[in-house]
Structure 1
Amino acid sequence: MAQVTLKDVARAAGVHFTTVSLALRNSPSIPESTRERIRKIADRMGYVANPIYAALTRRRQRSGGVVRPPRLAYLVNRPPELGYRQLPHHPLILKGARRQATALGYELEVLFVDELHYTSEKLAAHLKKEDINGFIIAGFEPGLSGLMLDWSQFSIVKIDSLHREPAVSLVTNDQERILRMVFQKLRGLGYRKIGLAVGRADDACTNRRYTGGWLIEQVRLDPAERVPPLLFPYNPKREDVVQLLRRWGEMHKIDAVISTWNTIDEVLRAAGFSVPDEVAAACLCLGEQDTGVSGAVANLEVVGAQAVSVLAQQIRAGKKGVSQFPTTTLIPGEWRDGNTTPPKHSEQYAEVEA
């Protein structure tokens, strides 16, 4: 069904569409009785104001006619002071989101949700002041600041952040399928004692998709080849990671490690393992700039771009708040050979469809 426009309401009310626009903005230039009649007609017809047009109008009024593009917010809860820019996946997702926002005619503003930058209260005030009616909750991490807003006022999309409210549309890389693809690739290369080493935070914010995919693959193995996953604590120190990795690797006699870290080969070497001669290494979320390490290119720029596209669609449709049936968009990855997973022997592993 076509969306009701200002001109549709104007025809039904027998007035010019500019009169409808003024009436719906409660302009005193239109008599109160006319305003009320037009509002009732608009309500009866199911008219919903175009939020992009409304935001542009307010910006034009405030800036004396100089119009800035409508703005979207990109929210993260790891501030620069805690290493936001040092985590390799954040810049890649943000790069794709910025590019798509520009292509669709939006500005994208990155806002850090924490006590030093934007608390929920300060954020709500900022979004209102800047006429921002849509935002992306981008990779919120467990153990860091949360977010509490009146969700009904905004169009919202999540990237990961599945451990946090609200339940809204999600865009993410397909962690479960990517993990299973990498595992099966290593099996095909001849590795048999393959271990998964990821952070609890990474697993939690993806709703256990990494360990879920891992368990699916583990149940198909001979018990002698099964390796329990190593889950690093929240915000671990490097020396703790190295120690845990060393003990776990030696205990289970691993010959390959799968991790979300694009420096997993360096960490394994720090733990005393020779890579790839003793232990192979594969990463689950390589970027295009990552060379040398084998693993999956997770197409994180595509994740960011798709999140903006879904958000823009919601804004155009006037959809706000929590949906009864939120959508999920899973972005696939693909294997890329590196120098950290040489073939071990010719025995092949029979792959099955995920």
Structure 2
Amino acid sequence: MKIGFPDALRFNSLSGPLADIRRDLTQASVELVTGRKQNLGRVLGVEAGDYNIVAKALADADTSIDRLTLSNNRLSATQIPLHQIRTALTDYAVETDSLLVTDEFVNTTISADAKSQIRQIFTSLNSSYAGRNLFSGDSVESAATSTADEFFTAIEASLAGATDAATLDTAIDTFFAPGGDFDTLIYQGGAGFASAVRLPTGGTVSFQLKADDQSFRTALEGLVRVAYAPQEGQVDFAREGVTLVRNAEALLIQHEAELGRQQNLIDNSIDAVNQERLILAETENTFAGADPYEAAALVQNLELQLQTAYTVTARISRLTLTNFVR
């Protein structure tokens, strides 16, 4: 069979449409699998601007949810060591009170227990979340406090010159007073608070609890008074320490309640943003979502077109150079 020059031209003319069909079939197949339209700029036309606005708002909502979730997790992480300190102090105060009912006082035992509580507090105060210390204020990298051993070295140096209950009382007060050794030697965090988080529903959530907070100072001061009670008047001195521990416990309860309140604010904000995001996602889907039935029909139609085009091409491809030049 002889195939003439017009057939060769027809063969060449099919290469362009074949490429177009293959491209359209690939795009339609992706839309069928993903449920998302491809080449939105071409598909949406004048509506592309509206789509971009909705897509930007949706991305902002996702970012807001991530930020709020991180803040909520940080508050939850702060609650854990705070609760540990408070419950340990509660148990300690009850137990120590029972030992101080009479004037009998086993100094070594109660002193060791108080020092053990101090070590636990320092461990809790240096807790971190997501690579950042929870009680360091606006300091990103530094620990919240020195180590417990460094604390004992500093407090014992401050108390070295105390000869009786009165001078011991003064030395302890001076150590924990603003600007004293606790501030200069023990607290290692920043002077300011960690950055507050602005809520999309209005208001802010702040992270204002630092290791130099009065609640922790009071707890440590009370424990120091028990641990280093003088030989003379030691029971009364220790009882004053336990009273301070109970005062610290009350302050810590207030902090726990405040953290819970702030977590509730964040939860409400996350719920509000999720509701907004749901509406935005539905709107975005009206622009970019591909109807599965339409996508399936288009794929089937393009496959048929491609099969037909290949059939025609296969017939024309029988053209040989000999047939062409005859």
TM-score, structure 1 normalization: 0.28
Answer with 1 or 2: which has the greater Rg: 2
Greater helix fraction, Structure 1 or Structure 2 = 2
Whose strand proportion is higher, 1 or 2? 1
Higher RCO (CA 8 Å, separation ≥ 6 residues): 2
